[in-house]
Structure 1
Amino acid sequence: MLLKMELRGNKPLVLVKFCGGCNPVIDRLAVFYKLKELLFWTHQVKAATLPAADWFVIISGCRINCTSVPKEWTNQEKMILITGNAVNKCFVNENELAANIARIITSTCVNN
């Protein structure tokens, strides 16, 4: 595992914030872990509310979307909102949520 971490180097940071989980219609943690798996070699994916990152992902388990967005995350161009089984208001199958998030992130990623 240590060797894999060393091979990753400094990668763009993706921060994920979760709702409270009061009435989820999706498995929020499964989406998170699948996203980590899909982006393992290209991005660091962390569950945190740090003020700075390359991408911000809000995972709300239902369409109500009561998740509070950290003040530092507002007006971020690179924010992805998951509300139930929708990615940025586009409905997808639950098992495709992480792949859609990864596709958005990697299709607009520019290496400096």
Structure 2
Amino acid sequence: MTGSINFCGGCNPKIDRVVLAEEIKQALIDRGIKVVYNESDADFTVYISGCSVNCATRLLDSDEFAVIIAGPTVNAQAVREDCLTTIAIQKIEDLLRKKKLLP
């Protein structure tokens, strides 16, 4: 299984996108998921935008399985920055269960 982490351009970051992406990447690898960056043919995508403008999702397909981080939010839910990784991983696991890729 492959997950892609896609980024915005980083013009107005309110969160540390690089640290967040590394934490998410490691958590996914620990679960046996291959991680790629900015790829469109992954099983799911994690979009990371540094602010609420959410530029990373500009090319989001409405049928795509995705978790969206935009500034201090995950899937439009406000989250403390120190909890972003934990909540994002929970949302990814929920998404994969929905897609029947996790038990």
Normalised by the length of structure 2, the TM-score is 0.82
Q: Could you say which residue in structure 2 is the equivalent of 1:46?
A: 36
User: Which amino acid is 1:101 matched to?
Assistant: A
Per-residue deviation at 1:77? 3.9
User: Which amino acid is 1:15 matched to?
Assistant: S
Q: Does 1:87 align with 2:74?
A: yes
Q: Is the 8 A contact 1:38 1:99 kept in 2?
A: no
The root-mean-square deviation of aligned C-alpha atoms, in Å, is 1.8
Q: Does 1:99 align with 2:86?
A: yes
Q: Is the 8 A contact 1:85 1:92 kept in 2?
A: yes
User: Which amino acid is 1:64 matched to?
Assistant: V
Distance 1:97 1:27 in 2: 10
Q: Is the 8 A contact 1:57 1:82 kept in 2?
A: yes
Distance 1:51 1:67 in 2: 12
Moved >6 Å (runs of 4+): none
Distance 1:39 1:77 in 2: 18
Q: Is the 8 A contact 2:4 2:40 kept in 1?
A: no
Moved more, 16-25 or 74-83: 74-83
Distance 1:67 1:41 in 2: 25
CA 100–64 in structure 1, closer or farther in 2 if over 3 Å, else same: same
Q: Could you say which residue in structure 1 is the equivalent of 2:5?
A: 16
Per-residue deviation at 1:108? 3.7
Identity between Structure 1 and Structure 2 (%):
32
How many residues were matched structurally?
A: 98
